[in-house]
Amino acid sequence: MTTFGLIRHGSTIWNKEGRAQGSSDIPLDEGGWEQARQLGKRIKTESWDRIYVSDLIRAQQTAQAIAEGGDLQISSDPRLRELDGGLIEGTTQADRIARWGEDWKSQDLGLETPESGAARGVSCLEELVSLYPNERILIVSHGVLLNHVLNQILSDEPKWHGLENMSMTVVHCNEDHVWSCELYNCTQHLLPSEAEALD
């Protein structure tokens, strides 16, 4: 059985401003770096074999911070990048309504389709299952892409949506290529310790 830890990258300024990022190459903000370091502390207490990451800088920086002080090999794969947001990249919901009206989602604004994003994301995971059977692999990617991947590989489950920044979702692929989910959207590593809470 191959296990994947699916990680959404840490926060960016655009996340905080509610701007669509898509394939725009936006770096982590200070909070995003700290989130990634906190997850890195958790990773050091667990057993993982390698990290695969989107080629966008916010995911690359997240992977680097997670791997600090460890010996996990980081490999980049463009199939893990976020869905292309077309004309909406850099805009807020208010911007989109002002430019294209309330029905902007029904218009052709150059967005990559969910089917396209899911297909490339799943192809990456399936290739890794073949290359590294029975390993435990971290995947650092993006919220929308990971949601569509989860909805494809766990099609019998309720629809997945709303992954938080720096969340961890753990899925397994068995020898029959049947997928299951052990943990979804976990951010417990971001909670302050009891000692910190008392300060």
Express each pLDDT in 100-146 by its tens digit: 999 999 999 999 999 999 999 999 999 999 999 999 999 999 999 99
CATH number at residue 120: 3.40.50.1240
Instruction: List pLDDT tens digits, range 93-104.
Output: 999 999 999 999
Name the DSSP class of 45: T
Mean pLDDT, the chain, whole residue set: 92
The confidence score (pLDDT) of residue 128 equals 98
Residue 4 has pLDDT above 70, yes or no: yes
Number of domains making up the chain: 1
Q: Are 184 and 169 within 8 A, CB to CB? A: yes
List binding-site positions: 8-15, 58
Whole-model pTM? 0.92
Cα separation of 79 and 72, whole Å? Answer: 20
Return binding residues for substrate: 8-15, 58
- Taking only the tens place, the pLDDT of each residue in 51-65 is 999 999 999 999 999
Q: Which of 30, 46, 68, 82 is catalytic?
A: 82
Domain that holds residue 82: 2-198
9 annotated active-site: yes
